Amino acid sequence: MRDTRIDDAYRAVTDSCGKPPDAVIWEVAVRDRWVAEYIGEEISLDDLVDHLDRSYEFAESMKKVKKELSSTSSKGEPENFRRVATNHIFAIEAAELDVVASFRTEWLPNGLLEMSEVDAWVMDRKDIEGPSSTWVTTLADDDGNPTVADRDHGGYTVSSRLVKFVVPDRSWIRSEPVNAVGALIELATVAEALHRRYDWSEAWAATFVLTGTVPPAVISNWTTSEPWPWFRARRRMTITVRLDVQPAQLVEMYREKRNQMLRGEPMPRVIGEHKARLAVFAARHSAGHTWGETMRLWNQENPDHQFATEPQFTRDSRDAFSRVMGEPLNWRGKLQTRRNRNGAR
């Protein structure tokens, strides 16, 4: 352990960043023993700088959120009123659409249903219309005519249509497969059209057609992409959000959705240039080299960031790759490369 004082660590961080660290953030780092871990060589200078940067960015983001909340708190209710008003106006327009009016005239001759009647109405229609249908999509020939698909080659898809609706307590959604002919398939089609037009959920759109109940406004839609078995670093999140959502609200929604997607994994940390280069270097030499050879190549190319021991280089390389990609490095090394070349297992 080197005999380095806190002042020396402060100067090292200042030299590395080109400016002194934020005073409050530095006090927190000293209190939480990050500086002590650096002094004790448990973490590197890059790790300490990364921690300070992340702490500073978090503090700044929280300042912005608090500022946004304080500046918009008095406007919150009007924004909510606007959302409710637009939804009711959408409902007024939707009731006048030909597809909605025609459905109600044909299938609801006694008038709109109560919420408590929807479930029974749907199940009665299922009994009347018979078993659900199956839709088969096949390949087409050169003239555009459907061909009988080869089952072994998967040249077709099989699917069913669902009608979705809200149950009386409004706390969950029910789905039922439908027949190709009748009120339920028509209801599902109308609900899909209303979903595209007003961004209502299909279940609430169908319930609106049957009852006239105004659906709740959809504030945002989120889709996630987790390309398993590929690298977790390719995970993505897409958001569609109303323009009357305040930036502070969006920050909170994103934080909640990201936590759900991470499912207890550590939050992605800021990566410094040194760790980023080390991760790429380890990945590039993960096949055909031993760790010792790779360390020597690194030291030759990076005189400013030398490694003295192979275990330290191995540990830091694996850690850098894990922090960049979100998963362990698949180190194939030299032995496996020779085996693959010789065709042996």
Query: Per-residue pLDDT averaged across 218-246, rounded?
Result: 69
Give the number of other Cβ atoms within 10 Å of residue 316's Cβ: 21
Amino acid found at 14:
T
Query: What phi and psi values does residue 244 have, to the nearest 5 degrees?
Result: -90, 5
Query: Per-residue pLDDT averaged across 189-202, rounded?
Result: 91
Domain spans of the chain, in order of start: 6-69, 97-209, 219-262, 273-342
Most confident of 129-143, 166-180, 255-269, 280-294: 280-294
pLDDT, tens digit, for every residue of 256-277?
777 777 766 666 667 788 888 9
pLDDT, tens digit, for every residue of 11-46?
888 888 888 888 888 887 787 677 887 787 778 888
Query: Given a cut of 70, is residue 332 above it in pLDDT?
Result: yes
**Residue-averaged pLDDT of the chain:** 79
Rg of the chain on CA atoms, in Å: 30
Query: Model-level pTM?
Result: 0.51
Most confident of 216-220, 263-267, 309-313, 326-330: 309-313
Please say whether the beta carbons of 53 and 270 come within 8 A: yes
Query: Per-residue pLDDT averaged across 127-149, rounded?
Result: 75
133-143 core/surface letters (b: 16 or more CB in 10 A; e: else): beeeeeeeeee
Q: Which residue has the higher pLDDT, 226 or 280?
A: 280
pLDDT, tens digit, for every residue of 83-119?
778 788 889 999 999 999 999 999 999 999 999 999 9
Element (H, E) at 339: helix 333-342
Inter-residue long-range contacts of 333-341, CB under 8 Å, 24+ positions, other chains counted: 333/286, 333/287, 333/289, 333/290, 333/291, 334/288, 334/289, 334/290, 334/293, 336/287, 337/287, 337/288
Query: Per-residue pLDDT averaged across 209-230, rounded?
Result: 74
